[in-house]
Structure 1
């Protein structure tokens, strides 16, 4: 199976202020992107996982990046390196979605073993390795391959979307 992928992050803003005879403007345009061809080296990826998931109140789950997740065709995915990650918390969530700090075998190359990142309702995280980066974010099967996702509170469930793009070697 061949995989081609593209990831990007963009921001645009314009700050204005009224001056005596005109309006001052400071426009900003920032776009960072990477295109990955099929394979396992620099600028390449050969595995993708995507899903919309729901966690019950106060629940958590560990996304096992090496040997448990299934691709769109039902094949088991084993990531050795993550090249791109997108996580989006649903805007309708009442609670936050918390990433990181699995109790055992945490995928620590992004947040360390004990750190977390909180996505408030409607928030998104987008991360990708550069095209020249052959390593990306390493996954170590059996000892460093669990990405914990948790519902921050009681009372209501949370929904989140996840996209993981990476390489098998």
Structure 2
């Protein structure tokens, strides 16, 4: 199995003002980020990808096990050693809005950096964390540090999008 991935982010903004001559000032700004990942286990490489739409019940947890339980789109079990990127979109793939918040983290067996609940993703919101260097975001340790917990607030079930880029070594 060969893996490749590309993460693209584009933000364009402008400011328009007015003055005594009704001619501005104007300002335009752009931030572009494109990060490509080749197949492998060193910097700027990944060898495991998980992308899915997942549903978590009202007032419940979705514990995403990154070491030995999660299965990718081709049926391969993911046993990650390093987490490189995580993307959570609090919206269904078809664009349908959710009505509940998601909180990232909070498992006692959480991936380092995600043991405390703290990152709240409101309906329509996005959580993205990526570190392409040789150490990634965090080391994944089976049984004691391999859970990425996504907690749904109460009120309704929540169907969200999840992407994980990881390395096995």
Distance in structure 1 (CA, Å) of the matches to 2:80 and 2:140? 6
| Deviation of 1:34 (Å) | 1.1
- Structure 1 gaps of 5+ residues are none
Matching of residue 78 in structure 1 with residue 48 in structure 2: no
Matching of residue 25 in structure 1 with residue 30 in structure 2: no
The answer to whether the 8 A contact 1:65-1:147 is kept is: yes
Q: Give the ranges of 4+ consecutive aligned residues of structure 1 lying more than 3 Å apart after TM superposition.
A: none
Partner of 1:16: 16
Per-residue Cα deviation, 1:100-156 (whole angstroms, up to 9, x for no partner)? 011x211123x4x213211111111122213xx111022122211111111111x31
- The two structures, once aligned, show a CA RMSD in angstroms of 1.3
Matching of residue 144 in structure 1 with residue 149 in structure 2: no
Specify whether residues 140 and 107 from structure 1 end up closer, same or farther in structure 2 by C-alpha distance, changes over 3 A only. same
The answer to whether the 8 A contact 1:40-1:46 is kept is: yes
Matching of residue 96 in structure 1 with residue 97 in structure 2: no
- Structure 2 gaps of 5+ residues are none
Partner of 1:117: 119
Per-residue Cα deviation, 1:23-70 (whole angstroms, up to 9, x for no partner)? 111111001221111000011101001111111111112101111100
Matching of residue 164 in structure 1 with residue 164 in structure 2: yes
Distance in structure 2 (CA, Å) of the matches to 1:157 and 1:141? 28
Distance in structure 2 (CA, Å) of the matches to 1:83 and 1:107? 12
Partner of 1:128: 130
User: Does 2-11 or 42-51 show the bigger shift?
Assistant: 2-11
Count, aligned residues: 163
Distance in structure 2 (CA, Å) of the matches to 1:85 and 1:41? 17
| Deviation of 1:8 (Å) | 2.4
